[in-house]
């Protein structure tokens, strides 16, 4: 059951966070292995959340001590005695300065070989930080993963990794690659675009007719399913590699587009690669930002 005091969900790089209202992601850094988020409210940076994945997860107390040491070095606030409990393998330390108090929190996710550290960037209630540490979750390399940031929301099978997310006026775009079993080479790519003003974008054309205008000139499209508000096309074109062309092979792409009449938006899901594509992703409203798309299934 979700905490009503933490209505915002942010899921990024296998880490799921529950946050207070009006909290947004101001910046993202790093990748699946390590990185951090800067969380803000009204353009003021509130919290830094860092993660790191290692074969051996660091113990809680040394992790908190190291985080508190950094706070002291950068702000002059010294750690107070005691660690406040924040759930299984989680804790929070208060750091007191002359005029302000900051806090740091940490949590070990042994099954996911992941350590997450929270650090307040400006004074805030410690109990809110404790609640955030308790409500967090992390998944391992081989687990299904939810991505929810800047209003984009999708759940994908294991080994999908985000390569970039854009959030512009009237357009949101996310790109994921699948690296099966952690291999360096990707075998599938997924691109999702959601555009505003669908009436202007599509015009007088049908959804299928408009989608066909976005294909390559040498691409052959076969209708898998078609309706007033959703269409799916299976496309093939001569392979880019001369070796694959010589063998008579083709590059595959599958497009699924759907139109949302009430919000006047159109979403296009594009998949390319080998093997089986993920299921169709559909729109769902989310608390953090404007909901853009959501997977029907994480299987």
**Cα 62 off chain centre by:** 29
- Confidence category of residue 34, pLDDT binned at 50, 70, 90: very high
User: Residue 289: is its pLDDT beyond 90?
Assistant: no
Instruction: Say what the pLDDT of residue 169 is.
Output: 81
User: What residues does 188 pair with on adjacent strands?
Assistant: 178, 273
Instruction: Say what the pLDDT of residue 171 is.
Output: 85
Delimit the CATH 3.40.1000 region(s) of the chain.
Answer: 8-138, 145-295
User: Residue 95: is its pLDDT beyond 90?
Assistant: yes
Measured between its terminal Cα atoms, the distance across the chain in Å is 22
CATH topology of domain 8-138: Protein Transport Mog1p; Chain A (3.40.1000)
Higher pLDDT, 159 or 22: 159
Mean pLDDT of the chain: 87
Instruction: Say what the pLDDT of residue 2 is.
Output: 59
pLDDT digits (tens, 9 = 90+) for 150-195: 767 788 999 999 998 887 888 888 899 999 999 999 999 999 888 8
**Stretch 225-236: mean pLDDT, rounded?**
90
CA distance 195 to 164: 17
CATH pick for 145-295 out of 3.30.70, 2.40.128, 3.30.110, 3.40.1000:
3.40.1000
Q: Helices marked H in the chain — which ranges?
A: 60-75, 126-135, 198-202, 207-212, 242-246
pTM of the model: 0.82
**Stretch 289-296: mean pLDDT, rounded?**
38
């Amino acid at each position: 059951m979700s905490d009503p005091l933490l209505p915002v969900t942010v899921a990024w790089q296998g880490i799921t966070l529950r946050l207070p209202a009006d909290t947004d992601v101001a910046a993202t850094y790093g990748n699946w292995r390590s990185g951090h988020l800067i969380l803000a409210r009204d353009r003021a940076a509130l919290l830094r959340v860092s993660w790191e994945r290692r074969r051996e997860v660091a113990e809680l107390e040394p992790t908190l001590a190291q985080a508190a040491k950094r706070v002291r070095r950068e702000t002059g606030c010294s750690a107070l005695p005691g660690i406040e409990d924040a759930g299984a393998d989680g804790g929070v330390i208060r750091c007191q300065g002359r005029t302000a108090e900051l806090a740091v929190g940490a949590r070990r996710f042994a099954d996911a070989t992941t350590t997450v550290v929270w650090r307040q960037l400006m004074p805030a209630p410690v109990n809110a930080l404790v609640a955030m540490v308790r409500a967090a979750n992390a998944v391992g390399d081989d687990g299904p993963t939810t991505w929810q940031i800047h209003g984009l929301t999708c759940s994908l099978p294991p080994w999908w990794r985000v390569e970039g997310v854009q959030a512009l006026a009237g357009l949101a775009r996310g790109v994921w690659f699948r690296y099966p079993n952690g291999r360096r080479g990707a075998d599938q790519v997924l691109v999702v675009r959601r555009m505003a003003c669908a009436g202007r974008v599509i015009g007088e054309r049908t959804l299928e007719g408009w989608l066909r205008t976005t294909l390559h000139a040498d691409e052959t499209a076969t209708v898998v399913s078609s309706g007033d508000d959703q269409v799916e096309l299976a496309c093939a074109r001569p392979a880019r590699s001369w070796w694959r062309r010589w063998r008579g092979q083709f590059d595959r792409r599958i497009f699924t587009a759907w139109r949302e009449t009430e919000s006047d938006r159109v979403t296009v899901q594009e998949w390319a690669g080998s093997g089986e594509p993920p299921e169709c992703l559909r729109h769902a409203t989310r608390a953090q930002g404007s909901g853009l798309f959501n997977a029907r299934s994480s299987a």
